[in-house]
């Protein structure tokens, strides 16, 4: 299929030059927007996958801390319960997106 730019370049000379230049400018704007939209879509897909992976990992870590807390409760081991609660507290109060240098590289 022929793209709009190729088709436009073959239009007859009977079309006034100003109209042709305006139409070509509109086509160029459209192409620019098309490219920008493709880039935005690519970045969206990347970040969606990245955040899904980051938060899936946090979910697994959270489950492990709760497992330790439950184990400590079953065994009446206050140190294990405290360690699990402390670790869980640190995890939930920290942001996985807080590493500014890492985020800037993305």
What is the pTM assigned to this prediction?
A: 0.54
- Indicate whether 1 pLDDT > 60: no
- Indicate whether 20 pLDDT > 70: no
How far apart are alpha carbons 23 and 42 in whole angstroms? Answer: 29
- Indicate whether 14 pLDDT > 60: no
Taking CA 46 as the corner, what is the angle to CA 44 and CA 49, rounded to the nearest 5 degrees? 105
- Element holding 22 (H helix, E strand): helix 17-74
Encode pLDDT of 21-48 as tens digits: 777 677 777 787 888 888 999 999 998 9
Encode pLDDT of 64-106 as tens digits: 999 999 999 999 999 999 999 999 999 988 877 776 666 666 6
């Amino acid at each position: 299929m022929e793209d709009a730019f190729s088709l436009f370049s073959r239009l007859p000379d009977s079309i006034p030059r100003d109209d042709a230049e305006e139409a070509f400018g509109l086509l160029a704007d459209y192409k620019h927007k098309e490219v920008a939209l493709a880039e935005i879509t690519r970045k969206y897909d990347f970040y969606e996958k990245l955040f899904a992976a980051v938060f899936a990992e946090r979910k697994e870590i959270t489950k492990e801390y709760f497992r330790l807390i439950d184990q400590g409760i079953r065994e009446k081991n206050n140190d294990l319960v405290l360690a699990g609660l402390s670790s869980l507290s640190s995890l939930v109060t920290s942001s996985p997106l807080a590493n500014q240098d890492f985020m800037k590289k993305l």
